[in-house]
Amino acid sequence: MTFVLLRSRLITLLQRRVRNGEWTVRALARRSGISQPHLHNVLKGIRQISEESADRLMQAAGLSIFDLLTPEELKGYLEQREIDPGWDQFRGRATSR
């Protein structure tokens, strides 16, 4: 799992919600404090978004990091943690506690 993948999923999710009429780019921009032209370009794939702006968009849209994971990814992570509480999926090894 990488930030690039999560950022891509965030943009895809926001694009879908705008397309479905759940949000307008203008309303999302206003709630997140990101300019409407910049957000428009981000959603069109013309510009990238910073980590801080991604956090603000997630907060404005009422999303958590778990909304960006597939059910299979979340299930696999939770199952592994249950088997080995020291498992760190992001490092691919057990962590010292």
**CATH of the domain spanning 3-63:** 1.10.260
CATH 1.10.260 range(s) for the chain read 3-63
For the stretch 31-70, pLDDT in tens is 999 999 999 999 999 999 999 999 999 999 999 999 999 9
> Alpha-carbon dihedral of residues 57, 55, 51, 41, nearest 10 degrees?
0
Residue 47 CA to residue 79 CA, distance in Å, equals: 37
Question: Do 57 and 49 form a contact (C-beta atoms < 8 A)?
Answer: yes
At residue 49, the pLDDT reads: 93
User: Mean pLDDT in the chain?
Assistant: 87
Q: Are 86 and 92 in contact (CB under 8 A)?
A: no
User: What's the pTM value of the predicted model, to 2 decimals?
Assistant: 0.77
Angle in degrees, 0-180, between the axes of helices 36-43 and 3-19, rounded to the nearest 10: 110
C-alpha distances out from residue 6 to 27, 29, 55, 84, Å: 22, 20, 11, 25
What is the rounded distance in angstroms from the CA atom of residue 10 to the CA atom of residue 68?
6
User: What is the percent of the chain with per-residue pLDDT over 70, rounded to a whole number?
Assistant: 84
